[in-house]
Amino acid sequence: MRSPVARNLALCAVAASMVAVGAAAPPTAAAHGPGGAGGAARKAPVAVGYGGAVASVDADASAAGIEVLRAGGNAVDAAVATAAALGVSEPYSSGVGGGGYFVAYDARTRTVHTLDGRETAPLTAGQDLFLEDGKPLPFDAAVTSGLSVGTPGTPATWQAALDAWGSKRLPAVLAPAERLARRGFTVDDTFRAQTAQNEARFRAFPDTARLFLPGGRLPVVGSTFKNPDLARTYRELAREGTGAMYRGDIGADVVKTVNKPPVAPGSSYPARPGKLSAKDLKAYHALFRAPSKTSYRGLGVYSMPPSSSGGTTVGEALNILERTDLSKASKTRYLHRFIEASRIAFADRGRWVGDPAFEDVPTEQLLSQRFADARECLVSDDAVLKSPLAPGDPRHPGACGKTGDKAAPTTYEGENTTHLTTADKWGNVVSYTLTIEQTGGSGITVPGRGFLLNNELTDFSFAPANPAVHDPNLPGPGKRPRSSIAPTIVLDRAGRPVVALGSPGGATIITTVLQTLTGFLDRGLPLVDAIAAPRASQRNAAQTELEPALYDSALRGKLEAIGHSFKANPEIGAATGVQRLPGGKWLAAAETVRRGGGSAMVVDPGR
């Protein structure tokens, strides 16, 4: 008899085939590719077919990845091409001024690998990076400043991934994005709204205002947005390699901009200078790391290890849920258990996870079933754990309910990251989340380069939440701030991909990935429906955030009767994923509504 997971996957495959019937075919690269004469690429949240797949938030970016797949590239090549295009059309979420985490499955060896492309603090940074007169800076003042800018990791990640697993060279995979930047993309409601959110601080920086407020006004929906400076930057990277960032002119411009933010004359905006140096750029490397791994329902769940907390926190929560048959649970019990598992896992991440080059992170113990069992026993079906919950000690799990240090609140992380997922005809898969942190990053555009700089260093704790308890996420020289990014690949018992997915959303990434996985694996939802399902997010806080469809439902009242407390969040995350189907077929899935809907494409919807 097949396991519940196997039955659910079979049902998902059937549902996926049904969804594919009548679905609009993805645009061809020639007619509707990035900057193509055929106009903007069409968006569809699900696509099924052969030859490989790409899912992202943006149709032009997905089309860039499909173009590379059609030209013989593999999933890694397509991921870099899609990411570069997102740097054009999603410039407030990603770009060469940021960083990210890259998870790749090698079909030949049936193994998963990861790249840590997280930004690093300057080598001169100390624990007082965000302190003035002994007090933490206001968050907004820290964000829009040179102090918040970490050494960019995205170009190094692209080159390292191509060198290790790609089949194309950097110029070939940058070509679609360069063309998109040169010819432009069509402004949509989301891009205009995100610009409006940043308008005040964008006006404080002449280069940012010149690029993103053309003619001094917000971009008009339906207009064409071009970025010739970024096109030139991509051509320079293609010609000179990523050394142009880490040892060349692009990097020199980044350092100059960080250390003397180009504020408009007469502006009162207090953009504090940073301390980035050429030495910081030269010292930067994207790091190959062994993936985090846990077993769930007999499947292997692989994700990012520290410096991200994504893999360990999702993994611990799955281990906590392992004892509950979520496929048979009522909606109330399912969400109750999901919320409590999230609360516990976040309590533990806050105490134990930081950059492993600086902190002794007990990754193996955090992912042990023994530790999860010692934490799961805290959960009751008729009561709610109080937050902030104190962490457990994964090195010495002890008896049920035994905790370690005092609780620490979850550090705020900007929510406007972006995620993409790719697969190819050989069976390789990539799950890649990249970011510049806040919507619009630091708000500072590098003059003449066409990209915004990140504010990733604000992911550090500005000061210990409790001076008596060690905080693993304080700044340090060359240190990577803790992240919640959780690009995930799930393998079956034979080591073949079942599903790959990820999401943006700051700390809500973890709960989004966890909820999507359990919706797909346990609740039997087709992937596109698991992605579209209304979300909850509990991050060791007094209240759990709910999207409107849950907040306004009768389910909320049933959970409140147990003891839960909620607040509304209009939108949580923006996931994408791919699913392997029988016979060499792939399903790509993206959001149906969030961020204006995502874009799923396949190389060949027929045969």
**Domains of the chain, first to last:** 4-289+411-604 (3.60.20.40)
Determine the average pLDDT of the residues in 343-372: 97
pLDDT tops 70 at residue 365 = yes
SS3 35: coil
The torsion angles phi and psi of 320, rounded to 5 degrees, stand at: -65, -35
R_g (Cα) of the chain, nearest Å: 23
What is the percent of the chain where pLDDT is above 90?
Answer: 87
Please name every residue paired with 114 in a beta bridge, in sequence order, or none if there are none: 103, 289
- In the block, residue with structure tokens 């030859």: 51
Alpha carbon distance 605, 135 (integer Å) = 58
Query: Looking at residue 405, what is its pLDDT?
Result: 67
pLDDT tops 50 at residue 14 = no
Q: What is the pLDDT of residues 46-88, one digit of tens each?
A: 999 999 999 999 999 999 999 999 999 999 999 999 999 999 9
Name the pLDDT band for 411 (thresholds 50, 70, 90). Answer: low
The torsion angles phi and psi of 335, rounded to 5 degrees, stand at: -70, -35
Alpha carbon distance 331, 8 (integer Å) = 17
Beta carbons of 558 and 22 less than 8 angstroms apart: no
Task: Name the average pLDDT for the chain.
Answer: 92
Determine the average pLDDT of the residues in 494-502: 98
Burial of 179 (0-12, 13-18, 19+ CB in 10 A): buried
Determine the average pLDDT of the residues in 343-368: 97
Alpha carbon distance 63, 51 (integer Å) = 14
Alpha carbon distance 27, 54 (integer Å) = 12
Determine the average pLDDT of the residues in 33-58: 78
The torsion angles phi and psi of 26, rounded to 5 degrees, stand at: -65, 155
Q: Which of 154, 157, 233, 417 is catalytic?
A: 417
Query: Looking at residue 240, what is its pLDDT?
Result: 97
Catalytic: 417? yes
Burial of 428 (0-12, 13-18, 19+ CB in 10 A): buried
| Residue 253: Cβ within 10 Å count | 16
- In the block, residue with structure tokens 């002794």: 360
Alpha carbon distance 217, 290 (integer Å) = 47
For residue 532, the number of C-alpha atoms closer than 13 Å in the C-beta half-sphere is: 15
Alpha carbon distance 187, 345 (integer Å) = 39
Query: Looking at residue 18, what is its pLDDT?
Result: 38
Considering the entire predicted model, what is its pTM? 0.94
Beta carbons of 362 and 394 less than 8 angstroms apart: yes
